[in-house]
Structure 1
Amino acid sequence: MTYLTMVLGVIALLILVTSLIYTFKIGKLVSERKAKYDTQLNEKVQDHPYSRNPVFLAYMIAAVLSLAYIFYLAFTISW
């Protein structure tokens, strides 16, 4: 592995860990707010709760980009 690949891998790992921790904190905050304020959700969000959630979209985009980078490295690095 080259030095640049290692640095990019560490940066990607830090971003993923940070976003996971942030997601848990936001989820806790939302559950605390929901206990106080229970509002009606938009019908479009109710129909597609996962595709309308920006956190899930961010994780899906990160997973696709990570896989694309892994496949790129697999086909370009000569062993």
Structure 2
Amino acid sequence: MSNLTMGLGVLAILILITSLFYTIRVGKVASDRKSKMDSQLSEKVQAHPYIRNPVFLAYLIAGLAALAYIFYLAYTISW
């Protein structure tokens, strides 16, 4: 695998991890602020807040796609 490909792979993973932690932090700040305008969430969403959040699902899918691409490149590019 070339150095450029390896560097881009590492950079992509670092961006995914950083943005995941940033999203979690912003979510905690937003959940700490309780507004009177908010409606009650359903019990299913309250029981599984991370699984039902499309942002976390997008991070999960993007992370798996990035890892799959990195492994694909690692096995197809000749050294």
Give the TM-score taking structure 1 as reference length. Answer: 0.64
* Aligned-residue offset at 1:50: 4.1
Distance 1:13 1:6 in 2: 11
Q: Which shows bigger deviation, 47-56 or 62-71?
A: 47-56
Over 3 Å counting, the alpha-carbon distance change for 1:49 and 1:32 in structure 2 is closer
* Aligned-residue offset at 1:62: 2.0
Question: Where in structure 2 are there 5+ consecutive unaligned residues?
Answer: none
- How many residues align? The count is 78
Matched, 1:63 2:63: yes
Task: Please give the residue correspondences for 1:1-79 in structure 2 after superposition, counting only pairs within 5 Å.
Answer: 1-34=1-34, 36-37=35-36, 39-42=39-42, 45=45, 49-79=49-79
Residues 11-70 of structure 1 show CA distances to partners (whole Å, capped at 9, x for unaligned) of 303311331232232122222223x54631147745864443022212221222123113
Q: Which has the higher contact order (CA 8 A, sep 6+)?
A: 2
The structure that is helix-richer by fraction is: 1
- The alignment yields a C-alpha RMSD, in angstroms, of 2.9
Over 3 Å counting, the alpha-carbon distance change for 1:54 and 1:68 in structure 2 is same
Question: Where in structure 1 are there 5+ consecutive unaligned residues?
Answer: none
Give the TM-score taking structure 2 as reference length. Answer: 0.64
